[in-house]
Amino acid sequence: MRKPIIAGNWKMNKTASEAAVLVDELIPAVKDASCEVVICTPYTDLVTAVAKTKGTNIHVGAENVHFEKSGAFTGEISADMLVDLGVEYVIVGHSERRQYFAETDQTVNKRALAALNAGLKVIICVGESLQQREEGVTEELVRMQTKIALRDVTAEQMANVVIAYEPVWAIGTGKTATAEQAQEIHAYIRTILREKFGAAADETPILYGGSCKPSNAPELFAKEDVDGGLIGGAALKAADFLAIGKGFPQK
């Protein structure tokens, strides 16, 4: 049985003082959650988040990581730095990193390997744009992104890998991905994982990252290969985050 996960991606929101308030709201709200609860915060909030969540069921993640251990990389943060803070998770390859900051499939792979080798759990994001979906290349693109991201990752390391499918075309565009469309691609991703890692693929959580909300979470999470959500805006409100976490059926 794969443990379901809700992972909040705060993006560039919340000062450290604002983060303290939100975490204080989240702790009692999700204390009885049946899923794993992760909050991925800006770097400036990580110390606060780790300290506040100590002894709770909330796990803390970062939103990105550099692939070198140290060196002349002004403004970057290494995996060892995150581990030293007490961070457990990190997101790599988010669509916004790819769109705005020249992230490539190759750098996603390097970041994922650096994080895994340092003992972090990684949430690897894959997904297609509206143009790519309309051109019918979704499967080819997702296959390429997934395989390159996991190059040199071992079957043992897959125990610390989570995949997040982001249909970029359904985020902030007014278009909606149906639960059936999500399941189709999630199942396809699991097929790719099975080809490379065998039975380990059945233990890998695959999260949905396309505008998951309290209203659509139950339908999405009812699908066999949808193991939770990578949550954006709704993760910034304790009540909404909790409501999404309650959307899991017994599978």
In the predicted structure, residue 130 carries a pLDDT above the cut 90? no
pTM attached to this predicted model: 0.96
| Distance, CA of 248 to CA of 251 (rounded, Å) | 8
Task: Please write the tens of the pLDDT for every residue from 33-82.
Answer: 999 999 999 999 999 999 999 999 999 999 999 999 999 999 999 999 99
Contact residues for 153 (Cβ-Cβ < 8 A; gap 6+): 112, 113, 116, 161
State residue 174's pLDDT score. Answer: 65
Give yes or no: 186 in active site: no
pLDDT at 250 over 70: no
> Is-catalytic flag, 166?
yes
Of 176 and 227, which is predicted with more confidence? Answer: 227
Give tens-digit pLDDT for 171-223.
767 676 899 999 999 999 999 999 999 998 999 999 999 888 899 999 999 99
**Residue 221 · residue 4 · CB < 8 Å:** yes
C-alpha distances in Å from residue 129, one per residue of 10, 111, 138, 140, 180: 21, 22, 9, 13, 18
Which residue do the tokens 């059926």 mark? 249
Which tokens in the block code for residue 76? 């970057």
Instruction: Compute CA 57 distance to the chain's CA centroid, rounded to the nearest angstrom.
Output: 17
The pLDDT tens digits for 134-174 are: 899 999 999 999 999 999 999 999 999 999 999 988 876 76
- The mean pLDDT of the chain is 94
The pLDDT of residue 86 is 98
Q: Which of 36, 94, 96, 186 is catalytic?
A: 94
Catalytic residue of the set 36, 96, 103, 166: 166
